[in-house]
Copies of this chain bind each other. A is one copy, B any other.
Amino acid sequence: MPLFRKVLYPTDFSELAEIAKDYVKKLKEANAKEVVVLHVIHPLEFSIPQFDDPFALDVATLYAHLPEIEKAILKGHEERLEEIKRELEALGYRVKTILTVGEPKREIVRVAEEEKVNVIVIGYHGKSLIERILEIGSTAKAVIKEASCPVLVVKKKEEG
């Protein structure tokens, strides 16, 4: 039974996402073969006042409208995805990277369904102040609730 064959690994490039990546790697031993590495760009990270619905943007349109300094940030995201890709490929994984714009929890659930993954590996932490303000702290919780596949929830504090 290919319980863990295809893994979705959403990353915000945080320390917690790094910890989650260790679990993605470990699932290789449980016959995981493919990883979809997803980074969702929250459009409020960028200064794009010209769009009424920045959540509906695609990456190319977003890129085209960014000031130079923010273009570099977006390029940086792409490079970090490529680094993760190389790191996972070195273990023998087939890897696909996806960079999208939107509400992280919705995009994660959408990609999980589109890509028909068998498990999502995601970090969970309490809400920080900035997250409470931006209402982005409950990504893991929303994903657990909405996803139809199993979710491996990785915590920051760990036993053992």
Residues in chain A within 8 A of chain B (CB atoms): 1-6, 22-23, 26-27, 29-31, 112-113, 116-119, 124, 140-141, 144, 147-155, 157-160
Question: What CA separation (Å) do A150 and B5 show in the bound complex?
Answer: 19
Question: What CA separation (Å) do A29 and B1 show in the bound complex?
Answer: 12
CB distance from A126 to the nearest CB of B (A): 8
Residue among A149, A159, A160 facing the most chain B CB atoms (10 A cut-off): A159
Contact of A117 among B148, B157, B159 (CB under 8 A): B159
Question: What CA separation (Å) do A113 and B160 show in the bound complex?
Answer: 10
- Whether A118 and B159, one on each chain, are in contact in the complex, defined by CB atoms closer than 8 angstroms, is yes
- A147 nearest in chain B by CB position: B155
- Whether A158 and B148, one on each chain, are in contact in the complex, defined by CB atoms closer than 8 angstroms, is yes
Residue among A1, A31, A116, A152 facing the most chain B CB atoms (10 A cut-off): A152
